[in-house]
Every structure is written in structure tokens, then in C-alpha cells.
Amino acid sequence: MVKSAPSPIASRKPSKVEGIKENSNFLREPVATEILEDTTHFTENAVQLLKFHGSYQQDNRDNRTKGQEKDYQFMLRTKNPGGLVPPQLYLALDKIADEYGNHTLRATTRQGFQLHGILKKNLKAAIAAIVNNLGSTLGACGDINRNVMAPPAPFKNRPEYQYAWEYAQNIADLLSPQSGAYYEIWLDGEKAISAEENPEVKAARQRNGNGTIIHDNEEPIYGTHYMPRKFKICVTVPGDNSVDLYSQDLTLVVITNKKGQLEGFNIFAGGGLGRTHGKEETFARLADPIGYVAKDDVYDIVKAIVATQRDYGDRTDRRHARLKYLINDWGVDKFRTQVEEYFGKPVEAFKPLPEFKYHDFLGWNEQGDGKLFLGISIENGRVKDEGSFQLKTALREIVEQFNLPIRLTSNQNLIFYDIEPDSKQAIQEILSRYGVGDDPSKIEPLVRYAMACPALPTCGLAITESERAIPGILERVRALLNKIGLQSEHFVVRMTGCPNGCARPYLAELAFVGSAPESYQVWLGGSPNQTRLAQPYTEKLHHNDLESFLEPIFVYFKKSRKSKESFGDFCDRIGFDAIREFASTYEPQAANGANKSRHRVNLKEEVYSKLKEVAESQGKPMTQLVTEALEAYFQNLS
């Protein structure tokens, strides 16, 4: 018997989406009917269900014409537990992007790929091609467990990393929807050939842990209404925060003995970053330590936590529906008690852990078995060919020639692994031929550690630019740091076009969160290792005022930091009152002592792209190229 939600929630009217799920026949209708119709888009009800199948309906606002229908297109998101992309799947995605999409792939912050620009008439063919090439989009979006993350580093001599991969896959399988809707709609009922499911996982899905299972239901774990909202899980190893573990609904940390054998898992729960401007009841939150379980109990504890959120999460107010709000409202002790009721026994005490650090694993590395792996930086996750920079072609050629598996990272990068040492030179030659670097020391550090969400023109939630804006923002930040004598300084910068937090800005040292057209809320004080929340410093900064706003903060940082103190740690230690006091009396001075103002000039998108391409090919800042060109122009005038 499944426990009902407490009376205050049970007595309130469920949200509209709850009704859509209830009436969908387990995610079938109206998607199954509307995919057969000769229209450019789905109805509102179908759009809500389409998310469970891995797709968002979008409108390209760049192509919007007054009085005409929206420019409807679809984003597809793949589900790749632990970031695994087999070579066959990668080549299929590359082809789908060209045949049906906008000729680009986008690595996500949850270790999957997104395809943009797909038309409704091509959606079924695109999904079928993904499934028939060892991939899936099922559960990549929607009120369900999303892609299960794990550290992407393929260390073959460190068993804890292999355990993280194994259990990320197993938990993804455990919580995968059991409804046949996905295969009925997109593959005409033919389930793709896949590896045999782990018998332990299959048994765990049916095992009733004091109310975790809903009997005689097509979805034994989720039930008719699935989860109140999305549910995010990661598996990591002690000390490795390459997965932003504190931002997850549920994190499992692999615990091994001295012989490297798996003993169990530490559990964190209640992280989440989505929020809404002006709604103080919505907030970013770090996950709390809950306890420890032995390895034999891991699937049952996962089910117990999922069942607690399933049965007690808020289904009336979707802004208050994530697990973080349940734990915040209840407190950790009450939450643990309820989980233990489903689990059937007490959770053990949390095991000691080392400090977590962020790693990006870029460049060439030994993987511990004589082979190599190569981490390639993908700026903002966008795999594309543009001018002399031919990343998409380079990656395709490497996969075709060497048949290498891929692990995507949570920082929108990509790792090739199982590379034979004698293949290294040939791979380097391919990358060099297409203008792609393999040496992370040559990447501008601000760019290396930055992330941005796609935002405009396709995301319906975007208030302002993000992916298209951040290259120019980072260049201006670098120029400002150079101006005040902080040439070697860098920190974690993240940018989003809205407050929902898809690029995890609330864990950054400096974050720009879209708050109005061309304007951003600014957050400061996160940790370089993403283990502490940033805080909102100002509500609305127009991008034209970036330099005058940041200069006094950076100058104060230069004057008052401790030895080797990072920017985020400085802002957290010194406090915003002290920063504001310093900034209020700060007077910017030029090199000659005179007041200096900075002027802004806007460029057309195609001019900016060409300028960036030339600057990269010549190894010069764009500002320098523009200055040189204008000086030559003015000389010709005279």
C-alpha cells in the first residue's frame, strides 16, 4: 500500500501537469496521436508528455515574424549514464545533426548531447535513428529520473571509478520508465536490441520495500503520476567533484576498502539549483549528507528516497516540487526517518570523506592500463564547424578512423579513451588540421572553466542571451583583469539566460543570471571546487556596465586577498558589505591618472564571428584587431 501525501498537500488541488500525466495512459497520449498529424507542432498537453520522451518543443525567436506562425522546432536530448557515447552512437548523432538538425551537437551539463532545430515531421526518424544506434532519449527530460552522472575519467587502475560507471548505469536502468509508450510511438513497437539487464537491477525493481513498489501498475516505481518534478542523480568517488555533486537530488559516493573492493555508498540528498526571480520561496540549495549503506542495499535505498519524494513531494505547486524543498521543509532528520521506513532499517552513519575538488581531465592522460585518454575542451559544449575551426569534422574523423568510445563531462567537454599510444600522433595531426587544440594550457583559463546554457534563440524560458554572449563577456573580463594587473588570475564563470540554473551558475565564483533583456543578476562567492553556494550581489546589471561594475570588486580583491586565495573564496570571506563599501568610494583611474570611461560598440553577428575567427588564427585579442583596423581606417581618411 503506497502511503498518501500528508493532508496539507493531499487536500490541495494537484497542478494541471498531474492531470496530464494521469490521463496519458503512461506517456502515450496525446503524443501517439499527434505525431501522426501533418502539423508543425504539438498541443500544450502533448508538449508536457513529449519531455518524458526526451524532447522539448521550441520556437526559434531569431526567425519569428510578426503575424506568422512561430518557427517551431524540436530539441532532442540523449540519455547517456556516466556520459558514455559509443562510437556508433556518436556517428549517428553527427549524421542526424546534419540531416535533421542545425548541423551542430551540444554537449550538456549532464553528460548527454542535445540536437537542435529538428522539425516535427523528422522527429520520429531522428529518435528511431538514435535508438537503433545504441542510444536513447527516454527520460532525458520530464518528471522522472534524468541522466545519471558519474566522473568521466577512464582510470582503469582505480577501481572506484569503474564502480561509479557501473552503478550509474545500473541505477539509470533501475529507474528507467517501464511503460512501452516510447518504443510504441517512435519505433512502432519494436524494442531495440540492447544488453541484457542486470538481474540484480531487475529483481530490485520488483522488490517491495515497505511501500516503495506500486503493485499491478505499468510503472512499479513511478506509478501513474511519475515524480512531482525532475529528479537528478549522480555517482562519484571520494574527492572527485567533476559532477557538481552538491547540486543533485541524490548523490552516491563509492566507498571501497584498502584492497579497492566495493563496500558501500555514502548518500547525499536535497541539492537543486532552479529558482525564480522575485520568488524568495524558490532558492538554490546544496545537498545534505544523509548516511551510508552497504553495497547490497544500494538499490533499496535509492528506491526508498525516490518513493519518499514520489509520495510526499509537492504536486500542487511545481515551483515547490523538487526534493530540496521537501528536505528543507521537513529537516534532514525527519526526511531520514521517512526514508528508513521505506528502506526497512536504519541508515548507517556517514563515512568520513576527503575534501572534494573539481577536475576537468583535459589534455592527454594515462588511463592506467597502458592506454591513453584525451580530454578535449568544447567551448559552451557546441560541437560545430565554423571557419578554420572544424571541431565537428575533426571529432567525426577521429571516431571513424579509430572507433574510440567517448565520455562526456559535466563541464560540456568530451573525453576519448582506450587510445593506443601509437595512435596519439595521428590523432594530434587530425586535430591540428582542423584547428582544434589538445593542450589545455593553451586555453584561456576563464574560457576553460566557464559554462553557459543555450538560452536565446531557442529556449522558451530565456530572458536574455547566454551561449552567444559569454565569449564577449569573458574577453571583457580578461581585458579588465589585465588592466588592473591580474593577468594570471582566473576563476569559475557561469552564465544563464534565466534563473532556472541549467549551467549551474549558483555554484560559480562569478555568475551572470539573466534577469531582463541584455541584463543579468550577478552572483559572487561560490567555491572554485563548486562546494559552496554563491550569493546574489546585484539584481540587474546591464552588460554595457560590466567593466565599471566589476573593476572596483577586482581591485579590492587584488588589494585585500590572502596568499593564493581564489576570487570566490575572497568574496565569501570578506563579505558583500565590505565589497560594496569599497566600491562606493572607488574612482577608476587611467594610467595617466585621469578619469577613464569605457565605450561600447555593437557588431553584427556575422562581423563578430569573422573577427573572432581572425583573432584566433592570429593569436591576438579581438580588441587589438579592432583598434589596429580603425587606426588604419582613420589614417586613410586623412
Please list, in sequence order, all residues whose beta carbon lies within 8 angstroms of the beta carbon of residue 474, skipping any fewer than 6 positions away: 444, 446, 447, 450, 493
- Which residues are the active-site residues? 77, 146, 230, 232, 453, 459, 498, 502
3-state SS, residue 371: coil
Helix, coil or strand: residue 578: helix
Note every long-range contact of 329-336, with CB atoms under 8 Å and residues 24 or more positions apart, other chains counting.
332/270, 332/288, 332/290, 335/269, 335/270, 335/290, 335/308, 336/290, 336/291
Residue 357 carries which DSSP code? B
CB 133 within 8 A of CB 89: yes
Q: For residues 105 and 97, what is the distance between their CA atoms, to the nearest angstrom?
A: 7
Residue 469 has, within 13 A of its CA and on its CB side, a CA count of 27
DSSP letters, 42-75, are --HHHHHHHGGGTEEEEE-GGG--TTS---EEEE
Largest CA distance in the chain: 87
The dihedral formed by the CA atoms of 567, 570, 575 and 576, expressed in degrees to the nearest 10: -20
Orientation of helix 87-99 relative to helix 120-131, angle to 10°: 170
State how far the Cα of 626 lies from the Cα of 618, in Å rounded to an integer. Answer: 13
Phi, psi of 226 (to 5 degrees): 55, -145
Radius of gyration of the chain (CA): 25
Amino acid at 382: R
Distance CA 397, CA 391 (A): 10
**558 SS3 class:** helix
Asked if the bond preceding 457 is cis, omega within 30° of 0, the reply is yes
Chain mean position to CA 515 = 20
The full length of the chain comes to: 638
